[in-house]
Structure 1
Amino acid sequence: MSKARTVRFHEYGGPEVLRLEDVEVGQPGPGEVLLRIEAIGLNRAEALFRGGHYIERARSFPARLGLEASGVVEALGDGVDGLAAGQAVSVVPSFSQNDHGVYAERAIVPASSLVPRPEGLGAVEGAAVWMPYVTAYGGLVEVGGMRAGDTVVLTGASSSVGLAAIRTAHRIGAAPLATTRTRAKRDALLKAGAAEVIVTDEEDVAERVRDLTAGRGADLVFDGVAGPGLTDLVRSVAPGGTVLLYGAVSGLPTPYPGFDLGMPAVSLRTYTMPETTRDPERLRRARAFVESGLRTGFFEPAVDRTFTLDEIVAAHRAMEAGHQVGKIVVTVPH
């Protein structure tokens, strides 16, 4: 049995509860793979899980973290086909953090969560592409039904998911309207491909969306912020449109505004990435969509900055500060 440095937390709290400990790795069981982790993509879901605010809570302590990574296959469990020792792969988030966690030098993950790393994509980039693009594709295309000619409002658009959603909208032929709280990230969002940027501290979101759509409103809203701003987002939607909530970065109570707004003909629902990654057919389509975008250069990872595994506390603090444009990635030296 060998040990690997692994990030765990023994109680809920801020980044300071994260500890780097030597933990027995074990051997992969049936349908599992042992990975040597090279890079880890950080996600808000992990900060929420660490703080006890995620959609599921830690089953026991100490608990592990981590849904997205890239690495090299070291060993295969029984019944695993299509992968080989020494192969470079990426981990697509498709499991509970109560069962697996990739914040480690080595980790065991389900073989079903792995995709071969495309040629020319490095370890850092390989840890920064799948969560954003599969989340965007699954929400906007599979669930939201986004089509060419649609207008889609993207909140928190400077996040890795927001940037992937901008490119996904362009790939489909839709017009992405990005929102951001201040002007600090406006130019970066325009450069990333936003058709327009709405600065929510300065502008009325619903009025601006209606101005930009000749009074019609947006066909789709993809909201990772939630909170009281949802009311304005519903006001911005065209009759028959849809609001998808895939996150709650605001941390504030989220109203149901349908009755206050006179019961508009708007669909309002939540969306989580596992709706795509735990459905084999949806995942197959998502994988084909993302791989095609990477191969043609239409999609690319958006990495804001990197930390090392020893700096995991600082990396979580940076993620929660929210100043990044794109993904924060943690590298794992060996």
Structure 2
Amino acid sequence: MRCVQMTATGGPEVLQPAECPQPEPGAGQVRVRLAAAGINPVDTKIRHNGLFDPSAALPAILGCDGAGTVEAAGSGVDGLEPGDRVLFLNGGIGLEPGNYAEQAVVDARFVAALPEAVDLASAAATPLAAITAWEGLFDRGRLEAGERVLVHAGAGGVGHLAVQLARSAGAHVITTVSDDAKERFVRGLGADEVIRYRERDFAEAARACTGGRGVDLVLDTVGGETCARSVHALATYGRLVTILALPAEEVDWKHARLHNLAVTQELMLSPMVLDRDDLRIHQRSVLEACARRLADGTLRTHVAQRFPLEEAAQAHRTLEAGGTVGKLVLEIGG
């Protein structure tokens, strides 16, 4: 089968087209013919820094996100059969082969059914970003209807899904963007208020949007100084969830303590890294919920650009250049 392999750590040039043997499903597994694979920032970080398992040998196939059609099922698989359309998050970090390939073998328990109404490329761009947004807002952030949430980088891969999910949950959604085009984009997704962070201090603006009270929840998708300053956008007893590592030395912990703020991290790869099947099954349920919303139009994954499989290196260059609205995908086949 055709695939793209990471042949070494380094720049995008280490991603090389190759031919690999067709994978065969074992007991409880399905083989999926991939139509598309999502591109995520974690892919570029792994390419640059190395695999999660430092003992794993190169070459490796990257890509956590996939969507396609079931080709074959191993023994003991119930509820999935050849021809079924599916999406999933699996592999791509050095523990199992990823989805920059024509085919992938996946534990059937982690595969979500995909309605016919959903475009396969859009579906492939969804899993990692949607699970991150869902867990950050609801599992970690405990967002409830009527609350005010600040989503950083609302036009980004995670951010644009978080804006929609928060809005559909009945929250008042405030988000940050950099320019006119991104502001129009997030308003089209349902953002109630938009902060141009290059023109206004976002913490001051968030407090102004809430009559000086501050927001109930911040979902930080940027990290660093943005994460640290976010504690000043929160109301007393507010919650900060970041999808990046905490900048511990920069956070005003005295302010956080005084206002009884909860500060939480969200890494949706943890269930896969820690081999927690129970948590991965929960993530599949999140994907099933998102797939239904994609089908009925209440959730939209915006695909900014599509690349042929063999142009994975160029897709990485595009992502690392910054400024992408929504997601990038590799189109692989039917």
TM-score where L is the length of structure 1? 0.89
Alpha carbons 2:229, 2:251 under 8 Å: kept:
no
The alignment yields a C-alpha RMSD, in angstroms, of: 2.4
Aligned residue for 2:233?
236
| 3-state SS, counterpart of residue 240 of structure 2 | strand
Give the direction of change, closer, same or farther, for the CA distance of 1:13–1:94 in structure 2 (3 Å limit).
closer
- 178, 183, 186: which one pairs with 1:189? 186
Q: CA deviation at 1:93?
A: 4.4
Alpha carbons 1:49, 1:56 under 8 Å: kept:
no
List aligned pairs for 1:177-326, cutoff 5 A. 177-247=174-244, 255-259=249-253, 261=255, 263-264=257-258, 265-274=260-269, 278=277, 279=279, 282-283=282-283, 285-326=285-326
Aligned residues: 328
Partner AA of 2:298 in structure 1: F
Q: CA deviation at 1:155?
A: 1.1
Rounded to whole Å, the distance in 1 between the matches of 2:132 and 2:163 is 12
List aligned pairs for 1:1-334, cutoff 5 A. 4-52=1-49, 59-93=56-90, 96-247=93-244, 255-259=249-253, 261=255, 263-264=257-258, 265-274=260-269, 278=277, 279=279, 282-283=282-283, 285-333=285-333
Alpha carbons 2:46, 2:93 under 8 Å: kept:
no
Alpha carbons 1:226, 1:247 under 8 Å: kept:
yes
Rounded to whole Å, the distance in 2 between the matches of 1:284 and 1:22 is 30
Partner AA of 1:20 in structure 2: P
Identity of aligned residues (%): 32
Rounded to whole Å, the distance in 1 between the matches of 2:27 and 2:166 is 39
| 3-state SS, counterpart of residue 43 of structure 2 | helix
Partner AA of 1:68 in structure 2: D
Q: CA deviation at 1:54?
A: 7.5
Deviations 1:303-334 (Å, cap 9, x if unpaired)?
A: 11111112111111111122221111110147
Rounded to whole Å, the distance in 2 between the matches of 1:41 and 1:270 is 23
Q: CA deviation at 1:53?
A: 6.6
Alpha carbons 1:230, 1:254 under 8 Å: kept:
no
Q: CA deviation at 1:55?
A: 6.4
Alpha carbons 2:69, 2:85 under 8 Å: kept:
yes
| 3-state SS, counterpart of residue 134 of structure 1 | helix
Higher RCO (CA-CA < 8 Å; seq separation 6+) = 2
Rounded to whole Å, the distance in 1 between the matches of 2:50 and 2:264 is 20
Q: CA deviation at 1:192?
A: 2.0
Rounded to whole Å, the distance in 2 between the matches of 1:217 and 1:178 is 13
Consecutive unaligned residues of structure 1, counting only runs of 5 or more, are none
Deviations 1:231-255 (Å, cap 9, x if unpaired)?
A: 221111111111111136xxx9664
| 3-state SS, counterpart of residue 257 of structure 2 | coil
Rounded to whole Å, the distance in 2 between the matches of 1:316 and 1:58 is 24
Deviations 1:96-125 (Å, cap 9, x if unpaired)?
A: 542131110112222222111112112212
Which sits farther off after the overlay, 287-296 or 172-181? Answer: 287-296
Partner AA of 2:5 in structure 1: R
Rounded to whole Å, the distance in 2 between the matches of 1:58 and 1:5 is 25
Rounded to whole Å, the distance in 2 between the matches of 1:247 and 1:294 is 26
Deviations 1:260-280 (Å, cap 9, x if unpaired)?
A: 547332111210224678526
Rounded to whole Å, the distance in 1 between the matches of 2:220 and 2:52 is 17
Alpha carbons 1:138, 1:276 under 8 Å: kept:
no
Rounded to whole Å, the distance in 2 between the matches of 1:191 and 1:136 is 18
Deviations 1:215-246 (Å, cap 9, x if unpaired)?
A: 11011111111012222211111111111111
Give the direction of change, closer, same or farther, for the CA distance of 1:255–1:198 in structure 2 (3 Å limit).
farther
Alpha carbons 1:29, 1:77 under 8 Å: kept:
yes
Rounded to whole Å, the distance in 2 between the matches of 1:280 and 1:105 is 23
Rounded to whole Å, the distance in 1 between the matches of 2:221 and 2:15 is 25
Give the direction of change, closer, same or farther, for the CA distance of 1:11–1:289 in structure 2 (3 Å limit).
same
Rounded to whole Å, the distance in 1 between the matches of 2:237 and 2:120 is 42
Rounded to whole Å, the distance in 2 between the matches of 1:271 and 1:221 is 12
Consecutive unaligned residues of structure 2, counting only runs of 5 or more, are none
Rounded to whole Å, the distance in 2 between the matches of 1:324 and 1:96 is 22
TM-score where L is the length of structure 2? 0.89
